[in-house]
């Protein structure tokens, strides 16, 4: 056959195939084979042991059952196989793509050898923690008309045979840990009115507790508790009081309280001895304090809530009449420390307002001020009241409606949402700080429209003249109140949650160079680093399986880390290049 | 027959409500009029849109069912009245007396495109500063927006602004 003949035969054959395909398309296709039942449950899930209340109070050394592993918020694992001497040999054990973009901030939660990971896009993955096999995937569609300003999740909670997920569209979902199927779901609030959820649920006393984000969308913040077994509402405590409720005298007479903000972004910490949970609250809404004259309790505060009833038993407001967008996102950690020779039964918070706050837990849930000092460049507070800790604010540094002010730290604060870690071995507190960032803000009148932006401010960001770094991992000794070491990042902001381990290491990512690093917990020396595909802003964890220690973290740049990068790129063009998005889970171990 | 009528009686009221909910959530349809959000409920005419900006926001209004389509924020329509001499051909064809209509929802992260930059005649989203040219089909001028603002072609019915055709592209944004 000539070349032409062969081509013609090919064409004819192709045509015949197409014709027969067309004829087949007109006939009914045979039915597809149907699975004969539900997918088989893998052995590791068949053997999944219900998580008990005692295990949440005192997790096994190899488990990481909640956001910070323990109720006190330390972010500390006692595992000690990986040490400064061998961490240089740390290798990737497995990795897995999440299929999502945006900020991957959640810790991999590990119990019974099963890892549960929440990602953006209302997704939860269950994975065999040792092998990296995907066991199930849960995905809940996000309504197309939802204004989701922070597309992220900070993790799931586990209790009994369920996995609890605070879905972005303000719905609390309980999943069957063995199958990933919904057991119950409860509407927490109305997303069309600006309520959304980013936090990991706090599970204690048979309840699942969550709060809502939306301080930029005219919400009224709250913490709400639901029965862990049934999902039925138990109590709901607003962070902004209604007229007549305690604290309402710190609000003006009008309707400002209805849209007063006080978001709850992060899971509270919990003291089982008193059944009190400590929650951080966001700024007031809209942003300018002169549109809501008064201290505006309980915005920019820590609240002590009775988990049985939701009653507010105590509070400390870090800065009254919030006007800088300094949400006090993270709750204080529960830790006892020395101060002037006394041992304080304490709370310590590293705040967005740029101060490290030492507080005390006193009888009945009250919170007392002990000390506060700046950990980054801060030019707004001229001093603190020595008794109450109330800051004296330089009026020139406070923005208002039609009044521009220039202040440090920037609206993202000295430390935003990424959690600190505390090691009881070194007695050091590890702070992922952003130093030398400042900005301006000017307010404007704004009218409320349900579910729309309700901010009323125009802001800028700049780097303080002469700054030699931005991001800075700091280690503070809580007993002396002194900074012991710091590791600066000259050309990157820092959005890295911190993990401390019993092996004498601190793990953290958070920089725009996409590295995940291990530091010597005692000295701050970088001992190991690994480059992932995107920036690492997930909460790192340590877990063990068959006696072997693993380190796990999500990579996936987005949300505020990316927004700050865009702003920095305006300040120093081309020095803060785009960081690619795309989420993945990384697990490391010694060979 | 009796059975069917009986069923109709029982089911009809629920169906009507569901239909109404659907109609409120349905994107703007040809023939819809436009009513100002938070303003006079009378359907808008070109002269009700301020000449030279800023934009005003409107809901589509189905005159047959007397339904304001306010069931989804993705139905928010931004109306702007400018000198049509500066419009590109596609924008001219969609405009009525210098009035152009676009989706008010930024296709980047879903914020309302609420700012009007009069000196450059650009629309701006306050969340991440995406800018659009309303004279050139809502083209992206700057910022992270991945695509132009969807346009809503207009016509006139009895002197009122009316929707001529659906949005030129899907209104809204990609949920991550």
**A549-574 burial string, b = 16+ CB within 10 Å, else e?**
bbbbbbbbbbbbbbbbbebbeeeeee
Rounded Cα–Cα distance for residues A72 and A499 (Å): 14
**Cβ A98 vs Cβ A533: under 8 Å:** no
Residue showing tokens 């939802």: A146
Query: SS in 3 state form for A347-412?
Result: EEEECCCCEEEEEEECHHHCEEEEEEEECCCCCCEEEECCCCCCEEECHHHCCEECECEEECCCCC
pLDDT for position A25: 54
- DSSP E strands: which ranges in A151-243? 157-159, 162-167, 171-176, 182-187, 202-204, 207-211, 222-227, 233-238
Average pLDDT of span A539-551? 97
A560: closest chain B residue by CA? B128
A-B Cβ pairs (cutoff 8 Å, strict): 47
Rounded Cα–Cα distance for residues B109 and B116 (Å): 18
Tokens of B52: 């030279």
Q: Which residues on B lie below 8 Å from A558 (Cβ)?
A: 176
pLDDT for position A439: 98
Q: Determine the residue among A103, A120, A141, A147 to mutate to test chain B binding: the one whose Cβ has the most chain B Cβ atoms within 10 Å.
A: A147
pLDDT for position B6: 40
**A6-35 burial string, b = 16+ CB within 10 Å, else e?**
eeeeeeeeeeeeeeeeeeeeeeeeeeeeee
pLDDT band at A3 (very low <50, low <70, confident <90, very high): very low
pLDDT for position A8: 47
Q: Within 13 A of A185's CA, how many CA atoms are on the CB side? A: 15
Q: Which of A169, A306, A325, A520 is catalytic?
A: A325
Average pLDDT of span A309-327? 98
Identify which of A144, A455, A566 has the shortest CB distance to residue B175: A144
Average pLDDT of span A343-354? 98
**Cβ A495 vs Cβ A416: under 8 Å:** yes
A325 has catalytic annotation: yes
Which of A68, A65, A69, A167 is CA-nearest to residue A118? A167
Rounded Cα–Cα distance for residues A217 and A448 (Å): 9
Rounded Cα–Cα distance for residues A528 and A540 (Å): 15
Q: Which residues pair with A516 in a beta bridge?
A: A530
pLDDT in tens, chain B (176 residues): 344 444 444 444 445 567 888 999 999 999 999 999 988 889 999 999 999 999 999 999 999 999 999 999 999 999 999 999 999 999 999 999 999 999 999 999 899 999 999 999 999 999 888 999 999 999 999 988 999 999 999 999 999 999 999 999 999 988 76
Q: Which residues on B lie below 8 Å from A144 (Cβ)?
A: 74, 172, 175
| Domain residue limits, chain B | 2-163
Q: Given a cut of 50, is residue A402 above it in pLDDT?
A: yes
Domains parsed from chain A with CATH numbers: 82-105+492-591 (2.40.10.480), 112-186 (2.40.10.480)
For A197-220, what is each residue's pLDDT tens digit?
A: 999 999 999 999 999 999 999 999
Identify which of B72, B114, B175 has the shortest CB distance to residue A148: B175
pLDDT for position B21: 85
Q: Which residues on A lie below 8 Å from B176 (Cβ)?
A: 100-102, 120-121, 151, 558
Q: Given a cut of 90, is residue A28 above it in pLDDT?
A: no
Least Cα separation, residue A251 to chain B (angstroms) = 27
Q: Which residues on A lie below 8 Å from B109 (Cβ)?
A: 147-149
Q: Per mean pLDDT, which range of A5-9, A294-298, A420-424 is the poorest?
A: A5-9
- Reported as type and span, the H/E element at residue A15 is helix A3-26
B57: closest chain A residue by CA? A449
pLDDT for position B4: 41
Q: Which residues on B lie below 8 Å from A145 (Cβ)?
A: 72-74, 110, 172
Identify which of B112, B127, B175 has the shortest CB distance to residue A142: B175
CB pair distance less than 8 Å for A453 and B37:
no
Rounded Cα–Cα distance for residues A215 and A193 (Å): 11
CB pair distance less than 8 Å for A453 and B72:
no
Least Cα separation, residue A76 to chain B (angstroms) = 31
Tokens of B67: 């339904």
Residue A455 per-residue DSSP state: -
Could you tell me which CATH number the domain at B2-163 has? 2.102.10.10
Q: Provide residues of B within 8 Å CB-CB of chain A.
A: 37-38, 72-74, 109-112, 114, 126-128, 144, 172, 175-176
Q: Given a cut of 50, is residue A364 above it in pLDDT?
A: yes
- DSSP E strands: which ranges in A41-90? 76-77
Widest Cα–Cα separation across chain B: 69
Q: Which residues on A lie below 8 Å from B110 (Cβ)?
A: 145-148
Rounded Cα–Cα distance for residues A222 and A303 (Å): 11
Which of A469, A452, A479 is CA-nearest to residue A218? A452
CB pair distance less than 8 Å for B175 and A455:
no
CB pair distance less than 8 Å for A144 and B176:
no
CB pair distance less than 8 Å for B110 and A563:
no
Q: For chain A, what is the radius of gyration of the CA atoms?
A: 25
Q: Which residues on A lie below 8 Å from B38 (Cβ)?
A: 449
The average confidence (pLDDT) of chain A is 95
pLDDT for position A328: 97
Rounded Cα–Cα distance for residues B147 and B111 (Å): 14
pLDDT for position B7: 42
Beta pairing, strands A76-77 & A498-501 = parallel
CB pair distance less than 8 Å for A148 and B110:
yes
B26: closest chain A residue by CA? A145
Least Cα separation, residue B71 to chain A (angstroms) = 10
CB pair distance less than 8 Å for A145 and B73:
yes
Residues 6+ apart with CB under 8 A from B93: B153
For A214-241, what is each residue's pLDDT tens digit?
A: 999 999 999 999 999 999 999 999 999 9
This complex has an ipTM of 0.83
**A366-394 burial string, b = 16+ CB within 10 Å, else e?**
ebbbbbbebbbbbbbbeebeeeebbbebe
pLDDT band at A23 (very low <50, low <70, confident <90, very high): low
pLDDT for position B175: 79
Express as a percent the part of chain A with pLDDT over 70: 96
């Amino acid at each position: 056959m000539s070349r032409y003949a062969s081509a013609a035969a090919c064409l004819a054959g192709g045509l015949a195939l197409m014709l027969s395909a067309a004829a087949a398309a007109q006939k009914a296709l045979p039915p597809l084979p149907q699975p004969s039942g539900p997918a088989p449950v893998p052995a590791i899930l068949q053997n999944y042991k219900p998580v008990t209340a005692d295990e949440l109070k005192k997790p096994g050394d190899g488990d990481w059952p909640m956001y910070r592993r323990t109720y006190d918020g330390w972010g500390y694992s006692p595992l000690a196989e990986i040490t400064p001497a061998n961490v240089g040999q740390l290798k990737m054990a497995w990795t897995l793509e999440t299929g999502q973009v945006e900020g991957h901030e959640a810790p991999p939660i590990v119990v019974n050898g099963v890892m549960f990971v929440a990602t953006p896009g209302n997704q939860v993955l269950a994975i065999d923690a040792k092998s990296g096999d995907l066991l199930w995937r849960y995905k809940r569609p996000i309504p197309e008309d939802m204004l989701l300003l922070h597309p992220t999740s900070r993790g799931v909670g586990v209790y009994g045979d369920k996995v609890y997920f605070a879905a972005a569209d303000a719905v609390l979902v309980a999943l069957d840990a063995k199958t990933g199927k919904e057991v119950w779901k409860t509407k927490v609030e109305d997303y069309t009115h600006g309520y959304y959820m980013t936090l990991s649920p706090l599970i204690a006393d048979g309840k699942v507790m969550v709060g809502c984000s939306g301080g930029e969308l005219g919400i009224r913040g709250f913490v709400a508790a639901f029965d862990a077994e049934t999902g039925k509402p138990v109590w709901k405590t607003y962070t902004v009081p209604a007229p007549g409720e305690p604290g309402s005298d710190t609000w003006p007479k009008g309707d400002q309280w209805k849209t007063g903000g006080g978001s709850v972004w992060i899971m509270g910490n919990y003291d089982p001895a008193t059944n009190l949970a400590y929650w951080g609250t966001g700024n007031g809404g809209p942003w300018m304090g002169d549109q809501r004259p008064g201290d505006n309790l309980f915005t920019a505060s820590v609240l002590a809530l009775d988990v049985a009833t939701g009653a507010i038993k105590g509070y400390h407001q870090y800065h009254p009449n919030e006007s800088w967008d300094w949400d006090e996102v993270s709750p204080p950690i529960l830790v006892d420390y020395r101060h002037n020779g006394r041992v304080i039964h304490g709370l310590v918070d590293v705040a967005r307002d740029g101060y490290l706050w030492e507080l005390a837990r006193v009888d009945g849930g009250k919170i007392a001020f002990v000390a506060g000092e700046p950990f980054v460049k801060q030019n707004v507070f001229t001093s603190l009241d020595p008794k109450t800790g109330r800051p004296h604010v330089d009026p020139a540094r406070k923005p208002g409606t039609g009044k521009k002010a220039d202040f440090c730290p920037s609206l993202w604060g000295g430390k935003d949402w990424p959690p600190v870690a505390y090691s009881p071995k070194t007695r050091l507190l590890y702070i992922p700080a952003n130093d030398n960032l400042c900005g301006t803000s000017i307010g404007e009148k704004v009218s409320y429209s349900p579910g729309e932006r309700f901010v009323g401010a125009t802001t800028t960001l700049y780097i303080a003249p002469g700054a030699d770094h931005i991001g800075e991992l700091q280690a503070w000794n809580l007993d002396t109140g002194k900074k012991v070491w710091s590791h600066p990042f000259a050309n990157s902001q820092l959005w890295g949650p911190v993990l401390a381990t019993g092996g004498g290491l601190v793990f953290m990512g958070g920089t725009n160079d996409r590295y995940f690093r291990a530091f010597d917990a005692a000295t701050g020396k970088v001992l190991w680093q690994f480059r992932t595909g995107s920036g690492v802003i997930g909460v790192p964890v340590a877990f063990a399986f068959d006696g072997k220690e693993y380190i796990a973290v999500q990579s996936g740049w987005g949300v505020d880390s990316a927004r700050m990068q865009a702003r920095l790129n305006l300040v120093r063009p081309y020095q803060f290049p785009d960081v690619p998005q795309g989420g993945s889970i990384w697990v490391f171990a010694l060979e | 027959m009796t059975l069917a009528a009986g069923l109709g009686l029982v089911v009809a009221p629920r169906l009507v409500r569901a239909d109404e909910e659907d109609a409120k959530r349905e994107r703007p349809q040809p023939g819809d009029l436009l009513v100002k959000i938070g303003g006079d409920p009378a359907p808008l005419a070109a002269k009700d849109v301020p000449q030279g900006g800023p934009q005003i926001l409107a809901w589509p209004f189905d005159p047959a069912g007397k339904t304001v389509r306010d069931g989804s924020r993705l139905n928010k329509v931004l109306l702007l009245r400018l000198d049509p001499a500066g419009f590109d051909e596609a924008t001219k064809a969609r405009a009525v007396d210098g009035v152009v209509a676009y989706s008010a929802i930024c296709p980047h992260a879903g914020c309302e495109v609420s700012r009007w930059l009069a000196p450059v005649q650009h629309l701006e989203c306050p969340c991440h500063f995406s800018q659009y040219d309303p004279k050139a089909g809502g083209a992206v001028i700057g910022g992270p927006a991945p695509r132009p603002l969807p346009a809503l072609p207009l016509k006139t019915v009895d002197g009122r602004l009316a929707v001529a055709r659906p949005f030129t592209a899907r209104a809204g944004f990609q949920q991550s």
